[in-house]
């Protein structure tokens, strides 16, 4: 009898232990799930926080970029305004210089008898040097600012030391530094036709010197530059040099 009671007691204890173990395992499982849920929430919060942080950083970068863009636009606008003003001033001073030459008729060049007039050479006049044309006559888009800039002549590429020749017979009417043009040489070809050579490396021929077509009047390389500037004018009006010089591919 006593043995049966002991067995029954042990059986109840064992059953109770099993219930406790099952309850413990269930509780552990719940705790694991709760921990996983919590870790997932923490990860999501960290991800959200990082996304917000990245977005805030991107917004700050975007604001800085806009500020830099505005600053660049203002600086370029100021530079462009200055450039346009300088070009207009340079053109006005050149027109004034040519007009003053026109008034000095006694010093005007008279072509030799039986020599061809400048007009007769239109389209066949040789270039002052070889070299690609970097900027053409007329209104064109400026590479630096993207705006329309007016040019009264041609910018011709020429390594320093390139010989620059007179495009037509005439007389040196001007040979001096000129603001905006560097060293400037102007040749009077008669009948109020002039050729202008700017950014010349030197000014060796004095005013009044008579030159033949093809005469070397200077070289390129003013202040180390690898180009020079050419204009042709009739009276005070600039004309497209390409229409007067021999054909050359653009």
pLDDT tens, position by position, 233-250: 998 899 999 999 999 876
Length of the chain measured in residues: 250
Per domain, the residue ranges of the chain are 1-81, 104-243
pLDDT tens, position by position, 97-128: 777 776 665 456 777 766 789 999 999 999 99
- Looking at residue 14, its pLDDT comes to 62
Contact 218, 204 (CB under 8 A): yes
pLDDT tens, position by position, 34-46: 778 778 887 888 8
* pTM of the shown model: 0.64
- Looking at residue 145, its pLDDT comes to 53
Q: What are φ and ψ of residue 119, in 5° steps?
A: -60, -35
pLDDT band, very low/low/confident/very high, at 158 (cuts 50, 70, 90): very high
Contact 181, 90 (CB under 8 A): yes
Which overall architecture, per CATH, does domain 104-243 show? Distorted Sandwich (2.70)
What is the distance in angstroms between the CA of the first residue and the CA of the last residue of the chain? 125
pLDDT band, very low/low/confident/very high, at 221 (cuts 50, 70, 90): very high
Contact 171, 187 (CB under 8 A): yes
Of 90 and 69, the structure prediction assigns the larger pLDDT to: 90
Percent of the chain scoring above 70 in pLDDT: 76
- Looking at residue 144, its pLDDT comes to 57
Mean pLDDT of the chain: 81
């Amino acid at each position: 009898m006593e043995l049966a009671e002991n067995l029954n007691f042990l059986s109840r204890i064992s059953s109770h232990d099993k219930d406790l173990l099952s309850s413990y395992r269930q509780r552990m499982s719940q705790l694991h799930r709760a921990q996983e849920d919590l870790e997932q929430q923490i990860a999501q919060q960290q991800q959200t926080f990082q996304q917000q942080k990245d977005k805030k950083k991107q917004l700050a970068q975007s604001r800085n970029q806009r500020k830099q863009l505005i600053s660049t636009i203002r600086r370029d606008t100021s530079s462009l305004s200055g450039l346009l003003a300088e070009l207009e001033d340079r053109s006005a001073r050149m027109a004034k210089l040519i007009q003053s030459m026109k008034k000095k008729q006694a010093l005007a060049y008279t072509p030799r008898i039986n020599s061809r007039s400048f007009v007769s050479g239109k389209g066949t006049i040789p270039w002052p040097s070889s070299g690609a044309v970097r900027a053409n006559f007329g209104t064109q888009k400026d590479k630096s600012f993207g705006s329309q800039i007016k040019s009264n002549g041609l910018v011709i590429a020429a390594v320093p030391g390139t010989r620059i020749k007179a495009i037509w017979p005439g007389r040196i009417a001007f040979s001096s530094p000129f603001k905006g043009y560097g060293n400037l040489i102007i040749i009077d070809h008669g009948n109020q036709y002039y050729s202008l050579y700017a950014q010349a490396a030197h000014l060796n021929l004095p005013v009044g010197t008579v030159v033949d077509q093809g005469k070397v009047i200077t070289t390129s390389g003013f202040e180390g530059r690898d180009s020079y500037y050419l204009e042709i004018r009739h009276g005070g009006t600039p004309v497209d040099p390409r229409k007067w010089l021999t054909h050359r591919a653009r």
